[in-house]
A and B are shown apart, each in its own frame.
Chain A
Amino acid sequence: MKTEWFGEGKYSRKDVIDSYNDFIDSANSLNLLVRSTRLQKEKISDIDEYIKCIKNFKRQAASKGDEQFANLLFHFQCMLRCVQSSIEMWLHLKDEEYQRAWCCLVDAQEYKDVALKIEDHDGIRRIEDFLGKVRDAIFPPWTHYNSAAFSSTIGQCSICGEPFGDCDHIEGLIYSGRLCRRVSIQFLEGHHSAIVSNPRDRRCIITEISKDDGNMIDIFTLERTGDVDVHDEENEVLGHMKGILLTTVSLDFD
């Protein structure tokens, strides 16, 4: 464990909280487009290391039955992942990887949402406001998304590892600093996809559409990406689109 973060010897609850406050401030200071790419990459690695320490403290708190502190540490974990995802978004924007940048923004918002289930304070509301402004200023105003319907196996419980039907844990609730989800699910069959305005997964965007002149254009850049099939007009096809139907993103909620 890095002593620069927590000092030497035994760590009190206050030491951990003070350290977290300093660390997230330093991470937040790099959460801007104009910050050095090198420093941002270093901070992303540092956050991974720091979260390993946080998880260590969390396990200790959980083993002592200190549910409240374990949940507070999970809140720290989610906030750090939120800022980390936001910094990753800036890096992808610098590399003109706009779709990946969008997904990082959604990741950041989802981490923030889970953090909010535990604690609400000015700091988290400032980040929420910041991410909302970034979405509005940087990305196109999405009005439609894809929404898939599919069948799957039941899977296992992320908390106890048992078949999900055999335990008492409930998806969406937090147990000793971990969010309950169904994991190890096998996709069985796709049923349909719909275009909706209020999807469950905002990563499922439409990425390219056809224009009347026969060109496909990228929704992010508005650049041409290729031609559509010239025979479509004869076949009475009104338009084409490309998009993301389903994602299997696994965020760090353990």
Chain B
Amino acid sequence: MNDEGRLTVEVESFGVAVGELMADRAITILPSNTKEAASEYMYSSTSMSFQKYARKHLALDYLTKPERLYTQKSVDVFLPAILFGLGQVIENPDLVKLLLEVTFNYVKETFVGDKAPTVKATFVSKETEKEKYLSVTYEGPLEGLKNIAPAFFKAIKHED
């Protein structure tokens, strides 16, 4: 990975509620504890500001209405997990690039600090197999976030 960032690819099974609640939209902000019951969902502490910022550029919404937030201070910016709708990534690859650009600009404009921020961001795509999700997590310098699109496409096409 460039810029010393770390990329992790996983196939996950989320709680049944995720599939049931997932509306027919291209981009959904996921809670950080998707395996819990929907009544206990909590969203990354940056979710609400990110949603306000990103909605000017993209159509996106939360999986459920946020009630509680989850703060993690081991990285400078702990971004919300983003779920792409079934087939959206393959049919519309520019969507991923736009989301990465919006995410990059969001961090750049809102981060307060004297150094280049580190970020943690997870992008999830629904697999065609029932209730399976492929998640790609990037953790590292903000600059590296812009470069993960090719790795994300490779992962969802199972090219490695």
Contact = CB atoms under 8 A, between A and B. Distances in A.
Contacts of A117: 112
A1 interface: no
Interface string A63-90: 0000000000000000000000000000
B112 A149 contact: no
A112 B113 CA distance: 9
B73 A201 contact: yes
A102 to B, nearest CB: 16
Contacts of A150: 70-71
Nearest to B73: A200
A147 B68 contact: no
A164 B118 CA distance: 25
The 10 lowest CB-CB distance pairs between A and B, nearest first, are A172-B110, A200-B73, A147-B74, A171-B49, A149-B72, A147-B73, A170-B49, A196-B74, A151-B42, A113-B112
A128 interface: yes
Interface string A140-168: 00000001111111100000000011001
Interface of A: 109-110, 112-114, 116-117, 128, 147-154, 164-165, 168-173, 179, 182, 188, 191, 194, 196, 198-201, 204
A177 B75 CA distance: 27
A170 B52 contact: yes
20 contacts: A110-B112, A113-B114, A114-B112, A116-B114, A128-B114, A150-B70, A151-B71, A152-B45, A152-B71, A165-B48, A170-B49, A171-B110, A172-B111, A173-B109, A191-B70, A194-B74, A196-B74, A198-B74, A200-B74, A200-B76
Contacts of A109: 114
Contacts of A170: 49, 52-53, 110
B70 A151 contact: yes
B66 interface: yes
Given A149-B73, A200-B74, 6 more contacts: A147-B73, A153-B68, A154-B66, A170-B49, A179-B112, A200-B75
Nearest to B42: A151
Interface size range of chain B in the complex = 20 to 34
Contacts of A172: 49, 109-112
A56 to B, nearest CB: 25
B31 to A, nearest CB: 11
A110 to B, nearest CB: 7
Contacts of B65: 165
A149 B113 contact: no
A113 B112 CA distance: 6
Contacts of A173: 109-110
Interface in B82-119: 109-114, 118
Given A110-B112, A113-B112, A199 B48 contact: no
Nearest to B71: A150
Contact of B68 (A152, A164, A199, A204): A152
A68 B142 CA distance: 28
A172 B46 CA distance: 10
A175 to B, nearest CB: 12
A200 to B, nearest CB: 4
Contact of B48 (A128, A149, A154, A200): A154
